[in-house]
Amino acid sequence: MRSDQNSSAQNSSDQEIALQMRQLIQILAKHNHAYYVMDQPSISDAEYDQLFHQLKALEQQYPESIQNDSPTQKVGGEALKKFQSIKHAVPMLSLGNVFNFDELKSFDQRIQDRLPNQKVQYDVELKLDGLAISLWYKNGQLVQGVTRGDGETGEDISQNVRTVRNIPLQLTHSKDELPELLEVRGEVLIPKSGFEKLNREAEQKGEKTFANPRNAAAGSLRQLDPKIAASRPLAFYAYGIAQCEPHHDLDSMSASLHWLKTLGFEIAERQWLVDSIEDVENCYQEIMQERPNLSVEIDGMVIKVDSLQQQKQLGFLSREPRWATAYKFPAQAALTTVDNIEWQVGRTGTLTPVARLKPVFVGGVTVSNVTLHNIGEIHRLDVRVGDTVSVYRTGDVIPKVEKVWQEFRPDTAQVVELPSQCPVCESPVVMPEGEALARCSGGLYCAAQRIEAIRHFVARKAMDIEGLGDRWVESLLHLELLDNVADIYSLHLHHEKLLTIDKMGEKSVQNLIDAIEQSKETELHRFIYALGIRGVGETTARMLANQFQTLDALMSADLEQLKKTPDVGDITAEWIFDFFHAEHNIEVIQALLDAGIHWAAPQAPTRQPLNGESWVVTGTLASMGRDEATQRLQALGARVSGSVSSKTKCVVAGEKAGSKLDKAEKLGVAVMNEDQFLQMLGGFEG
């Protein structure tokens, strides 16, 4: 009995450990993908390292639970599909990390233990913050360049590599001294000065800027068009030899680096050969001071046992060499003060607080703004205007406020509250309970939301103004002809101005004006949908039209009445209510009606025999498209969903219905063929 209990307790804790490992593996995999494949880091290196260490610690404690796909078992990243994959003849491994002198001393101790009575010298290098690549030379000629990829397999980037200015295409030794095969490893990156220039140019052209030099380098190397790579200020620094045939007679790392230099490769600007781990620490302290003056970004140092003979003796431990480690810099933080906290309004109306800081230099850049995300974050940090804060930044992510120094808070510090009015249009700001984000309710009127509002308003399923595409909208905003959606209906008064738009002749202007005129005759549910009320999609708009029958009734409905509409939950009801109570929205709606937008007066309330039921349409119907079938079902009150579940009332199955039909049959959900469907519609609609 007792032992049974024990073993089941053991089982459940094993499961818990495995679950915890799975969770960490999944999080790390997600961030690895963001970092290596998308070049869009989603967390800081320091956070990544922390999670990685957590997983490693668990695995050390429970080695029997180590999972095959754990990132501790392989190097991160995977090859992108667009380049040819190349398997590395010698895997491109990564390095273990140390973060402080104690950990560094343990690294040294492990080496001393394995090499008793041997003198160990360390080769100390900069840890360049770029991308590892491998270059193949045959008889001195560059033949191939490959990215690290996942360490086993990389991408063939030979074309791009040839455009990197300091990569020798031909090595500079006399021919008889050149190896038949030489594989050189090193880092490609964009030096700081080149990076700033690149981003300045991108900004001027209105293009996306890069978060940091590493991403800029990664993005450049992965360009399929080598002309783009050629236009980027990439540079390569060699740090190792993976293969050499016939074998060279070098006996140390430092000698290898020297030889590479004589062959024509560039080596990082600093490098040391030292006799003790204390000296390594001195180099580290020195380089931390010098870091801002270096021409390239570094994220630490790499310490390597200098003697190649000793390296061989030490060997590898799974993914890492025992003879080398990275000594990483801590994430950087700096103190500054909060001058103000402002609210920015996004294109969809979200209000985001942004702290304006006294400019401070941290992690290689000057930071003067930092997002505080939402009001909840302001409360969590308890950050006030006038506060002293720690701003934290690693090379790769946006800076953030990490800590508020309460002890430095001046008496004059001001608490920041969510504004009650939108800073752009003064409409009420709303935030339903349970939601993290506050929004401006002036969707139709707010200048910050203008483009989105117009796009939505003219869409096919809304007012269906054919031809008023993004290009038109941008030109019209530029000419200051559109302040809000109601101005669309005065465009005909600006005929001459419209003709000044590039490539818009008499005919296209007339077509646009005709399309606008035609859109005035619409249906109530389309109009409601076109208003772009948060939470009100097409189906809900139909439900509202059916429930309230007139726009007036809808606009004056109270929360309780709104909630009675099928499909409208508590939060959506609040959004609708707030929308129709924002004064500016009411003005715009009135202007739209004054312009002549109209719809057929409601006949007797439409019957809604399928009220609230969930229906699915699948396969091809001979008599109508799936859109039409959907609309007709919606008009009868049904919700039309894309997937079958036990809650589905009925599936309409046309020709070639596939898995949805199978699923309906499996779940015992009712199924209708096209004839039965038409008969039902006839019965209800007729």
45 is in an annotated binding site: yes
Binding mask 160-199 for ligand IVH (x = CB under 6 A): ---------------------------x------------
Minimal CB distance residue for ligand IVH: 132
148 is in an annotated binding site: yes
Who contacts 46 (Cβ-Cβ below 8 Å, separation ≥6)? 330, 331, 394
Q: Which is nearer to ligand IVH, 111 or 132 (CB)?
A: 132
Q: Is the dihedral of CA 662, 663, 665, 671 positive or negative?
A: negative
The interface region with ligand IVH, picked from 32-40, 123-131, 139-147, 488-496 by CB under 6 A, is 123-131
**Cβ pair 125, 239 in contact under 8 A:** yes
The CA–CA distances, whole Å, from 393 to 47, 139, 362, 370, 406 equal 11, 45, 7, 11, 21
Which of 92-100, 193-201, 206-214, 656-664 is the region at the interface with ligand IVH (rule: CB under 6 A)? 92-100
Separation of alpha carbons 362 and 534, rounded Å: 39
- 538 annotated to bind ligand: no
Whole-angstrom distance, CA of residue 387 vs CA of residue 408: 7
Instruction: State both tokens at 670.
Output: 């009712």
Spatial CB neighbours of 522, under 8 Å, sequence gap ≥ 6: 463, 464, 597, 598, 599
For strand 324-328 and strand 96-98, is the pairing parallel, antiparallel, or unpaired?
parallel
Name the minimum Å distance from CB 302 to ligand IVH.
Answer: 4
By CB under 6 A, tell whether 132 contacts ligand IVH.
yes
Rounded alpha-carbon distances, angstroms, from residue 433 to 378, 438, 575, 626: 17, 10, 11, 37
Of 76, 233, 240, 428, which one interacts with ligand IVH (CB under 6 A)?
A: 240
Measured from the CB atom, is 217 or 453 closer to ligand IVH? 217
Contacts to ligand IVH from residues 548-587, by CB under 6 A: none
Q: Cα separation of 537 and 529, whole Å?
A: 6
User: Between 125 and 674, whose beta carbon lies closer to ligand IVH?
Assistant: 125
Closest distance between ligand IVH and the C-beta of residue 240, in Å? 6
Q: How far is the CB of 221 from ligand IVH (least distance, A)?
A: 13
Q: Which of 88, 127, 214, 439 binds ligand IVH (CB under 6 A)?
A: 127
By CB under 6 A, name the one of 55, 302, 544, 621 that touches ligand IVH.
302
Using the rule CB under 6 A, which residue among 35, 122, 210, 239 binds ligand IVH?
239
Cα gap 298→130, rounded to integer Å: 8
Q: Which is nearer to ligand IVH, 148 or 526 (CB)?
A: 148
Strand 650-653, strand 614-618: pairing? parallel
The residues assigned a catalytic role are 127
If you count them, how many residues does the chain have? 686
Helix (H) or strand (E) holding 607: none
Phi, psi of 143 (to 5 degrees): -115, -25
Cis? peptide before 330, omega within 30° of 0: no
Q: Binding string to ligand IVH for residues 316 to 335, with x set by CB under 6 A, is what? A: -----x--x-x---------
Q: 44 labelled as ligand-binding?
A: no
Pick 31 or 148: Cβ nearer ligand IVH:
148
At 164, phi and psi to the nearest 5? Answer: -80, 120
The reply on whether position 413 binds ligand IVH by CB under 6 A is: no
In this chain, which of 24, 128, 241, 633 binds ligand IVH, going by CB under 6 A? Answer: 128
Segments in 339-489 forming alpha helices (H): 375-381, 450-458, 470-478
Shortest distance, CB of residue 95 to ligand IVH, whole angstroms? 4
C-alpha to C-alpha distance for 288 and 329, rounded to whole angstroms: 8
Total residues binding ligand IVH (CB under 6 A): 15
Q: Which residues bind ligand IVH (CB under 6 A)?
A: 93-95, 125, 127-128, 132, 148, 187, 239-240, 302, 321, 324, 326
Residues marked as binding for NAD(+)? Answer: 45-49, 94-95, 125, 148, 187, 304, 328
Residues marked as binding? Answer: 45-49, 94-95, 125, 148, 187, 304, 328, 422, 425, 446
Residues marked as binding for Zn(2+)? Answer: 422, 425, 446
